[in-house]
Amino acid sequence: MYRHNIEINTMVISNKVGLSEIDVRRIIKKAQEDGLFPKYADMA
């Protein structure tokens, strides 16, 4: 359930900013590694 929400959010973000989902995932992953983004994906 939680993972599914992340997928939807990634899709929405990618559509809004005009990047591919892969790029958005990479940016979020990088931000998580830098501690700039909560590690919600780790909870899935």
Report the chain's C-alpha Rg in angstroms: 10
Closest to 17 in 3D by CA, of 28, 5, 30, 6: 28
Q: Give the model's confidence band at 38: pLDDT under 50 very low, under 70 low, under 90 confident, else very high.
A: low
* DSSP secondary structure string for all residues of 5-33: HHHHHHHHHHHHHT--HHHHHHHHHHHHH
Task: Report the alpha-carbon distance of residue 44 to residue 42 in Å, rounded.
Answer: 6
Domain boundaries of the chain, sorted by first residue: 2-43
Residue 34 has pLDDT above 70, yes or no: yes
Residue 1 has pLDDT above 80, yes or no: no
Type of residue numbered 43: M
Q: Can you give the pLDDT at residue 8?
A: 74
Question: pTM of the full predicted structure?
Answer: 0.48
